[in-house]
Chains A and B, each alone.
Chain A
Amino acid sequence: MTVTPTPAEVRQSEVGRARRRKEDARLVTGQTRWTDNIQAPGLLHIAFLRSPMAHARITRVDVSAAREMPGVVAAFSGADFGAEQGSLPCAWPVTEDIVIPDHPPMATETVRYVGEAVACVVATDRYRAADALEAIEIDYEPLPPVLDLEKALDADSPLVHDAGNRAYTWTLSNGDVEAAFRDAPVVISRTFRQQRLIPAAMEPRAVVVTPLGDEYTVHTSTQIPHILRFLLASVTGVPEHRLRVIAPDVGGGFGSKLQCTAEEVLCLLAAKRLGRPVKWTESRSEGNLTVHHGRDQLQRVQIAAEADGRLRGMKIDLLADMGAYLMLVTPGIPLLGAFMYNGVYKMAAYDFRCTGVFTTKMPTDAYRGAGRPEATFAIERLMDELAAEIGVDPVEVRRRNWITHGEFPYDTVAGLTYDSGDYEAATEKALQLFGYDKLRAEQKDRRDRGDTVQLGIGISTYTEMCGLAPSRVLGQLGNASGGWEQADVRVLPTGKVEVATGATPHGQGHVTAWSQIAADALGVPFEDVSVVYGDTAVVPRGWDTYGSRSLAIGGVAVHLACEKVKEKARRVAAHLMEIDPGDLEYAEGAFRVRGAPAEQGRSIQELAAAVFNAHDMPEGIEPRLDSSATFDPANFSFPHGTHLCAVEVDTETGFTKIRSYVAVDDVGTVVNPLIVDGQVHGGIAQGIGQALYEEAVHDAEGNLLTTTLADYLVPSAADLPAFVTGRTETPATSNPLGVKGVGEAGTIASTPAVVNGIVDALRHLGVRDVQMPCTPERVWRAIGGAS
């Protein structure tokens, strides 16, 4: 007789369930390990004096008066640290002749941006440290600031570094671009400015360095504890095995905490000199000045097309603002865009050139999307301009050019192989959810009536390369890092499961998602899985979290490690049951003889206990029910989707209101729909931030004017509509779970959708572009309000 299990007994798959996040209660209440919550006996506080000049020679530093202030334990200038402070690392020399200037964590001879650290005070509390900063005397001999990307390359420009203001020029070319443009029926040329952005993670950066003999524990609000450990070792000379780096809970990063910062190095050096623990927590204004900035590119872009809108080729000429120095991956950021300017489209020829330029501003580096939002913005804006030029609907011009579902895998003109995708399905679904035709009708009606408020529809059909990445490809691109990820899975004696991941979260929900993956692979309850991370003493290996890589690399590693644990458990079970391992099947968390009832099998819990006491182990099996796995995919993952944005533009004031927003994303297999929605919502909000609100503004002397959140505007929920999200699921072929990254997708897609919407609302008034952020005044001026 066969017994059919009742539905309640059939284990529901965890992958795909909208599990609420295990980690949220402690994160949102703050009852957790933020770095600033870390205390240590005898803790000292460090405060940094920062350059008020964008470019100057330091002629005198006198910290002696600060040393006499109450509560002050020490005060240091850059010269005091001398050679010991080394040079902050750049791990991505993109060309052989790239200029990588020396970058002392604390300036010694010359300051090159406002905010650069020039001295520090270590005191018994933060107040005394801050007071003592005012007693430090510094004389500067001003040098001319270098602020304009184009003028910086002029022969007579003042120099940021003696080797010149050009850091590198990197090119990529495929096909005959000149032929594509020669006699092309349609050529569209535009210059877009990707304004400089300030990553505004909710948690400011903080560092606590605790010495114990010659060993140092570095708590820091970082995305990259593993990478940072060897970087700190190489910069300061403290041996790697004497350094333990802990990223406790981290409140957001968006790339800004993918860095080896001056403050991390200087806190370590101060703790080393003083033999006492040292803490630093930045203020928001300090962060706006000195967290590495994002974007800041001048894009000169051209497409050539047939009369019916089919693309022939594309030319991209970029100037990318490096800022004053090359930080961890500064020069490589525009390259991540180089492979994405063609977007989801087919074309025969492509030419890309990027010059990295030094200026006397805070260095730029990774910021959510890193190169890909810039590229996607350019192509998606151009596709709308092309549609207008040839007089077809912007959706139609995309249909005529995109890679069709049947053409995958597809080798793109930029040299990537897109493994999978279904642009038709995502677009159809988005149009339906959006009510596209109805909105177009309303738009026409408002135009006809000459309504004060005009409606615009912006579309963005994006894809992106993420899940960084195949180690081999990173090597080919000159990036010093690897791209694999590691997981350890341990079945504890009681049968509970501990997952140690090298992919360190900073808010993404790894604990929940990894629990779901492990629960499915091992057949154990979701609640029985815990996840440890972020501590190099607990998880020694990993490449951490950035580039939407965690799930597609680190999550897959968890899955593979579980499979290895299961194979080990199979051999133990077979031994105990005196049967051939091949005759066992694993289901519902137990090994049993094929076809036999579950209760006659051995559960993973029983096997864990048996392995723990090791009374009866098979030959050659160590008494540990655990395993490690690394995963290094053969290809990136390529999420894609279609975003549609309806904006209402008040033509009297220039104010833009987002009326509705639909995002249909294809991120492959979805592990947790709640987490995916959260990532998409946050990503869209951040992309809207670039489109409408955010811009780091400097004055003519190079002072940052947007040092507070009253000046640097970021959107809040009150400024945004309720996002409508939908999904299609086309599994990735580059990993066994079929998953793709989702962390950056929303940001990449949304910026052009919003700006396309604004231009669409105003095109009949002669508007062809609006510089980001599209502030009310800029929109008003674009309409001609000023005339």
Chain B
Amino acid sequence: MIPARFDYAQPTSLPQAVSVLSDAGEDAKVLAGGQSLLPLLRMRLAYPSVLVDVGCVSELRGVRDEGDHLFVGAMTTQHDLVRDPLIREHCPLVSLTAATVADPAVRHRGTIGGSLAHADPAGDLPSVAVALDMVFVTRSPREERRIAAADFFLDYLESALETDEILVGLEIPKLGPGWTYHYEKFHRTAQAWAIVGAAVAVRRADGHIAEARIGLTNMAPVPVRASSVEAAVAGAAIDDDVLRRACATADEGTSPASDLHATPEYRRHLARVLTRRALATAARA
């Protein structure tokens, strides 16, 4: 558990960070909170030549109200996602979900940018990103990009970020009044990764579900939307049997992995149960 040799850079501004990362070449990695990257280094599963620590880049910090969305700096910790008043008010699904990540020690170091850029489908925040259609704001020497969540996650641990591109922050849409939320996480111990998770936002009208957004954790190499359920519950009554029928297709289009904790068959079953429970909890909140 001893990392191989690497160089270390600690830029103090975004332009400097972009330039350092660009100069460092293809084998450089951006270090945010280190909660995913450092274990990979220690197990010698990754051999970056340079670590560009963006912890001192002030442009990556802070939460701002930008009208129809919040801008959340990439270095915002999961702890801050739980506590931040703006996020709690306008994007509570982010706060609710961040509160379920690992344990307090991890949440004080782990960041929203690091967690999303790592693109682990078992992470909790990626499914929220796709459910809320977050926009990923990035910077490279060539350009500033705004990437839709649906285009950001390419494969297991693989994102649309180029090797010289830094994730600056997230634009998280405010869904507005009338929406309620829940994240249903299923894991074996409190600190363990989600076997499956369902991130749900529901808009109610006239005692019915008018609209729903559903992101699934760990049901494919990337976080996925349960689109068929979203369609099925639009206009549905808030009733367990109705929801059960609507959620029968929650695993449609998914390709869950088999690992030590669950088979694909079980994950598909959990996706149906958890989606239903998340919808019911959100709709009755």
Contacts and interface: CB of A to CB of B under 8 A. Distances in A.
B190 A131 contact: no
A653 B1 contact: no
B83 interface: no
B191 A285 contact: no
Interface string A45-58: 00100000000000
Interface in A407-460: none
A708 B193 CA distance: 13
Contact of B269 (A693, A705, A716, A785): A785
B190 A719 contact: yes
Contact of B266 (A47, A127, A777): A777
A47 B2 CA distance: 10
Interface in B166-222: 186, 188-193, 195
Interface string B119-132: 00000000000000
A776 B5 CA distance: 41
B154 interface: no
Given A653-B270, A775-B261, A693 B188 contact: yes
Interface in A263-287: 283-286
B263 interface: yes
A693 B103 CA distance: 18
A717 B190 CA distance: 9
B189 A713 contact: yes
Contacts of A713: 188-189, 192
B157 interface: no
Interface string B71-115: 000000000000000000000000000000001000000000000
A284 B260 contact: no
Interface in B1-51: 1-5, 39, 42-43
A108 B114 CA distance: 45
Contacts of B192: 710, 713
B273 interface: yes
B265 interface: yes
Nearest to B192: A713
A653 B273 contact: yes
Given A653-B270, A718-B190, A286 B1 contact: yes
A711 interface: yes
A3 interface: no
Interface residues of A, number: 34
A457 to B, nearest CB: 23
B266 A131 contact: no
Nearest to B277: A652
B231 interface: no
Given A711-B260, A786-B265, A716 B191 contact: yes
Contacts of A286: 1
Contacts of B3: 127
Interface in A283-341: 283-286
Nearest to B193: A710
B188 to A, nearest CB: 6
A715 interface: yes
Given A130-B2, A285-B1, A705 B186 contact: no
B111 to A, nearest CB: 19
A610 B194 CA distance: 70
By CB atoms of chain B within 10 A, which of A653, A692, A775 has the most? Answer: A653
Nearest to B263: A777
A786 B267 CA distance: 11
A713 B270 CA distance: 20
A693 B189 contact: yes
Contacts of B4: 130-131
B260 A126 contact: no
B222 to A, nearest CB: 20
Contacts of B39: 708
B276 to A, nearest CB: 9
B242 interface: no
Contacts of B266: 776-777, 780-781, 785-786
B2 A285 contact: no
B257 interface: no
A697 interface: yes
A120 to B, nearest CB: 14
A653 B270 CA distance: 7
Contact of A127 (B5, B191, B193): B5
A230 interface: no
A374 to B, nearest CB: 23
A236 interface: no
Interface in B254-275: 260-263, 265-266, 269-270, 273
Contacts of B43: 285, 708
Interface in A706-735: 706, 708, 710-711, 713-716, 718-719
Contacts of A692: 188
A696 to B, nearest CB: 11
A170 interface: no
Nearest to B188: A713
Nearest to A786: B265
A420 B5 CA distance: 62
A284 B42 CA distance: 11
A538 to B, nearest CB: 33
A655 B186 contact: yes
Contacts of A126: 2
Contacts of A777: 261-263, 266
A716 B105 CA distance: 14
Interface in A151-194: none
A719 B260 contact: no
B188 A131 contact: no
Contacts of B261: 775, 777
A706 B2 CA distance: 19
Nearest to B1: A283
Contacts of A127: 2-3, 5
A714 B189 CA distance: 8
Contacts of B193: 710
B269 A780 contact: yes
Contacts of A718: 103, 189-191
Contact of A715 (B1, B189, B260, B262): B189
Contacts of A655: 186
Contacts of B263: 777
A350 B222 CA distance: 57
Contacts of A705: 260
Interface in B215-270: 260-263, 265-266, 269-270
Contacts of A715: 189
Given A285-B43, A697-B260, A719 B189 contact: yes
Contacts of A285: 1, 43
B2 A284 contact: no
Interface in A130-155: 130-131
Given A692-B188, A786-B265, 13 more contacts: A127-B5, A130-B2, A131-B4, A285-B1, A652-B273, A710-B192, A713-B189, A714-B189, A716-B191, A718-B103, A718-B189, A775-B261, A777-B262
Interface of A: 47, 126-127, 129-131, 283-286, 652-653, 655, 692-693, 697, 705-706, 708, 710-711, 713-716, 718-719, 775-777, 780-781, 785-786
30 contacts: A127-B2, A127-B3, A130-B2, A131-B5, A283-B42, A285-B1, A285-B43, A652-B273, A653-B186, A692-B188, A693-B189, A705-B260, A708-B39, A710-B192, A713-B189, A713-B192, A715-B189, A716-B189, A716-B190, A718-B191, A719-B189, A775-B188, A776-B186, A776-B195, A776-B266, A777-B261, A777-B262, A777-B266, A786-B265, A786-B266
Please provide the 8 A-B residue pairs with the shortest distance between their CB atoms, ordered closest to farther: A283-B1, A718-B190, A130-B2, A777-B266, A719-B189, A713-B189, A652-B273, A126-B2
